Amino acid sequence: MTEHELLPGIDTVHWGYLDATLPPALEIADGDIVTVHSVSGSAEETPVAGYCVRPELKSIQRALSPELGPHILTGPIKIKGAMPGDTLRIDILDVRLRDNWGYNIIRPGKGMLHEEFGEPHTVHFGIDLETGAIATPWGGALTARPFFGVMATAPNAEDGRRSSVAPGYFGGNLDNKELTAGSTLYLPVSVEGALVSIGDGHAAQGDGEVCLTAVETALTGRFRFTVIKAGQIPLPYAETPTHMIAMGFGENLDLAVREALRSAISLICNQTGMTAANAYTLCSVAADVRITQLVNVTTGAHVMIPKSVFPPARPE
Q: Prior bond to 76 cis, omega within 30?
A: yes
Handedness of CA 245, 250, 252, 255 (dihedral sign): negative
pLDDT for 312 equals 87
Distance of alpha carbon 246 from its chain centroid, rounded?
A: 14
Q: What is the pLDDT of residues 165-215, one digit of tens each?
A: 999 999 999 999 999 999 999 999 999 999 999 999 999 999 999 999 999
The answer on pLDDT for 316 being more than 60 is no
pLDDT for 232 equals 81
Query: Are residues 183 and 305 located together in one domain of the fold?
Result: no
Last residue of a domain, one of 205, 228, 251: 228
Contact (Cβ atoms closer than 8 angstroms) between residue 78 and residue 26: yes
Please name the helix (run of DSSP H) or strand (run of DSSP E) that holds residue 190, with its range, or none.
none
Distance of alpha carbon 65 from its chain centroid, rounded?
A: 22
Rounded CA separation 61/84 (Å)? 34
Last residue of a domain, one of 180, 198, 228: 228
Q: Any residues with CB less than 8 A from the CB of 115 and at least 6 apart, and which?
A: none
Asked whether residue 233 is domain-assigned, the answer is no
At residue 48 the predicted structure's pLDDT band, cuts being 50, 70 and 90, is: confident
- Give the mean pLDDT of the chain: 97
pLDDT for 176 equals 99
Rounded CA separation 59/9 (Å)? 8
CATH number, domain of 150, equals 2.60.120.580
Contact (Cβ atoms closer than 8 angstroms) between residue 13 and residue 69: no
Query: Are residues 190 and 270 located together in one domain of the fold?
Result: no
Query: Are residues 77 and 31 located together in one domain of the fold?
Result: yes
Per-residue pLDDT, averaged over 8-24, amounts to 99
pLDDT for 303 equals 99
Q: Residue 249: which domain range?
A: 242-309
pLDDT for 49 equals 86
Asked whether residue 314 is domain-assigned, the answer is no
Rounded CA separation 171/153 (Å)? 7
Q: What is the pLDDT of residues 227-254, one digit of tens each?
A: 999 788 999 999 999 999 999 999 999 9
On whether the pTM is more than 0.75, the answer is: yes
Query: Are residues 220 and 298 located together in one domain of the fold?
Result: no
